Amino acid sequence: MFRKVEVSFWQDSDMLELTPEGKYFYLYLLTNPHTALCGIYEISKRIMSFETGFNIDTIDKLIKQFEERGKIVYDPETSEIFIKNWHRYNFTTSPKVVKGIIYDLKKVKSRKLLVSFWNTIPDDMKNALIEYGYSIDTLSIPYGYSMDTEPHKDIDKDIDIDKDLDKDIEIDIDMEKKNKTAPDGSVSSQDCEDSPPRTPYKQIVELYHRICKSLPRVKVLNETRKRLLRARWKEYPDLSFWEEFFRRVENSDFLTARVPPGKDGRPPFLADFEWIIRPNNFAKILEGRYDNRDDSRRDIQATIEKLVQKWGRY
């Protein structure tokens, strides 16, 4: 999935009033790799800080600023954000797009954001969602989960959110909306000719084998692993990023089982290739959730942060 911002973004009246950091932050909210088809996506303040370079206090200030301007709604309990103008430039009545929006809505944890979404979208969009099976009863479902849990405590609970994806419903908003303009700076989609390079499965696996010597080797690259790898490559299509990513994994004592056994004698956790490319685990690794407490390898940290920011628009 690609995002682009129209040149008129810089002439929008709201944008003209923003500080440089405000403009940069809003561009980030519109184009970061965590965005979803429905306009609501999960992103913690820690990830925002990591990927933009702003400290947490600045992130708090900017979120409040855009909430006051009516541009976003943020739920700190679930670490989810709703871009209120998203639907204006990313919605068509195409069954493929509508089903994709419904799929994304089912993953939203915040009732607050679901209600705001429903109260914001136009009637034709509501009718299309209902026609294809979205139930407004979803708005009454309570959620109590946040992505900002303590590190290492939810290893066995990580769920690959891709596994329930209907492979027959490939979301291709780029093709549906490639001619759509976004006069106020909201996102639209680029033509498919700007697609990222084809996923270099062999090169990535070779990098993994060369760098992550403490982890099990990849003996089978099945369809599940290819699908996961394709999704991550779309986000970060740069082999230099993957080299630093694997170095970060190899440098983690926790991920490589270089820690003492548990109190019950249970062997330490050991990650593998498939585990580190699953979306939840991949994001936590980028956040530094599994870095050593006393990690002094700041050159690797600085390099991977730079690469994440470079490819954060995918």
Residues 203-235 have pLDDT tens digits of 999 999 999 999 999 999 998 899 899 999 998
Total domains in the chain come to 2
One domain for residues 285 and 174: no
One domain for residues 206 and 159: no
Question: DSSP character for 218?
Answer: -
| Blockwise average pLDDT, block size 10, the chain, 314 residues | 64 78 90 90 93 93 93 94 84 82 91 91 85 66 36 37 35 41 43 62 95 95 90 91 95 92 82 93 92 64 65 52
- Cα four-point dihedral sign 231, 235, 240, 246: negative
Structure tokens at 62: 């900017």
Examine the fold and report which residue of 164, 188, 212 is the final residue of a domain before the chain moves on. Answer: 188
Examine the fold and report which residue of 142, 169, 188 is the final residue of a domain before the chain moves on. Answer: 188
One domain for residues 37 and 160: yes
pLDDT of residue 156: 37
One domain for residues 154 and 265: no
pLDDT of residue 208: 96
One domain for residues 148 and 75: yes
One domain for residues 38 and 168: yes
One domain for residues 158 and 283: no
Examine the fold and report which residue of 188, 205, 228 is the final residue of a domain before the chain moves on. Answer: 188
Of 251, 249, 259, the residue nearest 285 (C-alpha): 249
The residue behind tokens 């670490």 is: 79
One domain for residues 9 and 38: yes
Strands (E), 236-297: none
Owning domain of residue 283? 196-311
pLDDT of residue 159: 32
One domain for residues 15 and 33: yes
One domain for residues 307 and 163: no
One domain for residues 181 and 234: no
- Backbone conformation region of residue 192, classed left if phi is above 0, alpha if psi is from -120 to 50, else beta: alpha
pLDDT tens readout for residues 77-103: 999 999 998 887 777 778 888 888 998
Residue 80, classed as helix, strand or coil, is strand
Gap between the Cα atoms of 261 and 258, Å rounded: 9
One domain for residues 100 and 206: no
Structure tokens at 12: 């929008």
